[in-house]
Amino acid sequence: MVAIKCIGIITSGDDAPGMNSAIRSVTRSAIYNGLKVKAIYRGYKGLIDGEIVEFQTQNVSNIIQQGGTILKSSESKDFMTQEGRKKAYENMMKEEIDALVVIGGDGSLSGARIFAQEYDVPCIGIPATIDNNLCGTDTTIGYDTALNTIMQSVDKIRDTATSHERLFFVEVVGDDAGFLALNGAIASGCEAAIIPSIEIEEHMLTQFIQNGFKKKKSSSIVLVAANKQIGGAMHYADMVKTQYPELDVRISILGHLQRGGHPTAHDRIIASRMGAASIQAIMKGLRNVMVGIDNEEIVYVPFSRAIRNNKPIDRKLYEILNNISI
């Protein structure tokens, strides 16, 4: 096994609050353990284009509280090709980078997995996605911050919804998961959540509306996980408007608001833990694994398991939401 002397850090795909905390932790943990650190700007595109700079501890000063990523991020179509990955590997060798720490979501880790298989490059993944959809870890960097952003936004929406006695459909990030919508609905006292992993029939939505009439609720809010399969907030709002034209139905799409903001203490802490654990994994000779947290303990999850896209929703949480929204 080749001794690791220099590591490269990449942030790839959609940004997530806490990425900078992870960059800081990886950089300082690596230097503490005697490793050189090369920062790769703009994700895999930067690795192909050679946007690589050596980092010292001062390069990551005063970033733990910042949202986004100081390394920037992008999606690279070239990295999806063998020619692009060959160029990326050549730049790695030119910069004498022995291993990669990839901070991102399922797409980023999928890219790392392919790259590692083709060129026998040790890659360690750090899960950073607000979707919280990576398997083998209880939470991902950015999820807690996004959840708090949703809660604060819905709190504000409820003020106007109550004042005007309106029904709001609020669309949040969903993808193939519904963690933000479900837990956001519980945290902000919403009446319902519509998520991809739990089917909701039209009659169930009708029943929810009728129950609201019986109780003479002054406002109602439904969180909808944006997803091509189930449709977004507009789809369900149009459905209700057709059946209940007397209702004042409104839509709010939170969009990129959910990705920004200062990371919460929780996200800063797990990012710091995962960053340090990624360097420990490299020092131990591990490769092609994602750092995760399971029951508050650091775990190392093979890429093949982490990116399955079948992380289960706790259906008991859905039952709790239904019970307390009566």
Q: Tell me the catalytic residues.
A: 131
Contact, 154 vs 186, CB < 8 A? no
Query: Tell me, what amino acid is at 38?
Result: K
Q: Which residues pair with 211 in a beta bridge?
A: none
Q: Across the strands, what pairs with 126?
A: 103
- Under 8 Å between Cβ of 300 and 280: no
CA distance 37 to 54: 6
Which H helix or E strand runs over 116?
A: helix 106-119
Instruction: Give the count of beta carbons closer than 10 Å to the beta carbon of residue 212.
Output: 18
DSSP E strands in 187-288: the ranges are 192-194, 220-225, 249-253
Q: Are 8 and 278 in contact (CB under 8 A)?
A: no
The tokens for 67 are: 């949202």
CA atoms within 13 A on the CB side of 45: 11
User: Mapping DSSP to helix (H, G, I), strand (E, B) and coil, where does residue 1 land?
Assistant: coil
CA 318 from centre of chain: 21
